[in-house]
């Protein structure tokens, strides 16, 4: 396994766990951390033994934002040439499901990182926000787009234009978060959910994630056609035959990922 300086990586059966590990900086997302995170996720995506991933920070902070010190004196051309935001594109291309286990601060780039994941499990202490307006800029790694799709134009506009924070319960009610659990069990719950997903047929899980994501990128008509093609394609897999036969025989299926 590769050696990392800003993240901790471990394997829990069929689940890959990545912990953001810059506690003194509240896990602020600098270029080293984001490169390591994208690299680790890509490695898990290639590993046939891993079927779902979890990204987390610590109880105090998932990630309190991007590392402002890296950007404060940069010019527009420097930011363009660095293109650090391209790492979010690499994460978006991960084929297997990713769960964000969020506690404490989840702001700016941290909120954008949670939103690029497929499911967010939040502790009761989680606080979400896109406060970039307070330092003279705006979200640049998907915040204006993903937050609007998650909670609607009016709420997203208010948060982005004022920098207002959103509590875990408010985020759950708005649809940003899948569920809110006690702080002592948020990571345990995320890992439990990841193992539950990992126990499902891998190809069907991968294509179902792809189909759901397509709903944000296309019309209903095109999305339905895309879904239908993936549905039919799954009838070419061994797992489909095994799953339906196991259902008929009233036994537990044995997934092969083929």
Rounded Cα–Cα distance for residues 193 and 191 (Å):
5
**What order do you get walking across the sheet with 7-12 strand by strand?**
7-12, 15-20, 52-56, 98-102, 119-123, 179-181
Asked if 168 and 123 touch (Cβ cutoff 8 Å), the reply is: yes
Strand partners, 11: 16
Catalytic residue set: 66, 109, 112, 132
Dist. CA 188–CA 109, nearest whole Å: 24
Q: How many angstroms separate the CA atoms of 79 and 71, rounded?
A: 8
**Residue 225 in 3-state DSSP?**
helix
Say how far apart CA 63 and CA 81 lie, in whole Å.
24
């Amino acid at each position: 396994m590769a050696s990392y300086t800003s993240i901790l990586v471990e394997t829990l059966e069929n689940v890959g766990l990545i912990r953001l590990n810059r506690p003194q900086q509240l896990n602020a997302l600098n270029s080293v951390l984001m490169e390591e995170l994208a690299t680790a996720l890509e490695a898990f995506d290639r590993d046939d033994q891993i079927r779902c991933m979890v990204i987390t920070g610590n109880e105090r902070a998932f990630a309190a934002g991007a590392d402002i010190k890296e950007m404060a004196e940069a010019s527009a051309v420097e930011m363009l040439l660095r293109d650090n935001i391209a790492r979010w594109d690499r994460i978006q291309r991960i084929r297997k499901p990713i769960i964000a286990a969020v506690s404490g601060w989840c702001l700016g780039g941290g909120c954008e990182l949670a939103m690029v994941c497929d499911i967010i499990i939040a502790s009761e202490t989680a606080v979400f926000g896109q406060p970039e307006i307070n330092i003279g800029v705006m979200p640049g790694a998907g915040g204006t787009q993903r937050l609007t799709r998650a909670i609607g134009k009016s709420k997203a506009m208010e948060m982005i234009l004022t920098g207002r924070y959103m509590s875990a319960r408010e985020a759950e009610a708005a649809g940003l978060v899948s569920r809110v659990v006690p702080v002592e069990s948020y990571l345990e719950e995320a890992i439990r959910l990841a193992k539950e997903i990992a126990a499902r047929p891998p190809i069907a899980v991968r294509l179902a994630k792809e189909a759901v994501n397509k709903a944000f990128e296309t019309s209903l008509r095109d999305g339905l056609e895309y879904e239908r093609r993936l549905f039919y394609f799954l009838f070419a897999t061994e797992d489909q035959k095994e799953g339906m036969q196991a259902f008929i025989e009233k036994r537990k299926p044995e997934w092969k990922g083929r």
